[in-house]
Chain A
């Protein structure tokens, strides 16, 4: 149980384009989803928290107009990186918590490697 999928697993795009990453909870209803960014040899950096049907809450320093988060259903959240630049290249990971899990335990997706040329 508590399986989270992410798509795509890898994406390469040109500078200036937008990229959408999907995060799905497959066997439970995710009332809360989280988006993280991970740099080599650094801890997971929380970008934003989204509760189903509400606007996402962004961490300090994260541009909400650049990283658009939508959590329209209890099984799907999307992260759109708008006008991507090489400095946005990173490993993006989502996690989910909710009904069918112990509410404060997060289950992670496999991650998306974004490379911006």
Chain B
């Protein structure tokens, strides 16, 4: 069974204080690993898809990286508007189903 574990569960940063969120996964043949951002009371917003170990993707202050066992979402010089819950999910080859982690709730304080 596919599993996704995200850490930490919650993270509080000062504005400008860079950090990383972790997503550890087990899957029987990775098709894709996804990062989403979710604001309270809203649906997840797509950020990145990573397909193979060594791949990196960037968007504004966010950078996602992937190894064979985990993915990191690095946030550089965060701003208060980056406060949200960040979800990681994996999809196995040959399957449509995506398995989500619980997420990391990020709070950026001015």
Contacts and interface: CB of A to CB of B under 8 A. Distances in A.
Contacts of B4: 43
Interface stretch (A63-71, A75-83, A103-111): A103-111
Nearest to A113: B41
Contacts of A95: 43-44
A34 to B, nearest CB: 8
B91 A104 contact: yes
A43 B102 contact: yes
A4 B14 CA distance: 33
Interface of B is mostly: strand
A44 B102 CA distance: 7
Given A43-B102, A43-B103, A108 B97 contact: no
Interface residues of A, number: 25
A70 B32 CA distance: 27
B46 A2 contact: yes
Given A41-B102, A44-B87, A110 B42 contact: yes
A94 to B, nearest CB: 8
Interface in B95-110: 96-98, 100-103
B49 interface: yes
Contact of A107 (B32, B46, B103): B46
B102 A42 contact: yes
Interface string A1-19: 0101010000000000000
Given A6-B43, A111-B43, A113-B41, A105 B102 contact: no
A58 B43 CA distance: 21
B91 A110 contact: no
Interface of B: 4, 31-32, 34, 36, 41-46, 49, 87, 89, 91, 96-98, 100-103
25 contacts: A32-B96, A34-B98, A42-B102, A43-B87, A43-B100, A43-B101, A44-B44, A44-B100, A46-B97, A49-B97, A95-B43, A104-B31, A104-B91, A104-B96, A105-B46, A105-B49, A106-B34, A106-B46, A106-B98, A108-B36, A109-B43, A110-B42, A111-B42, A111-B43, A113-B41
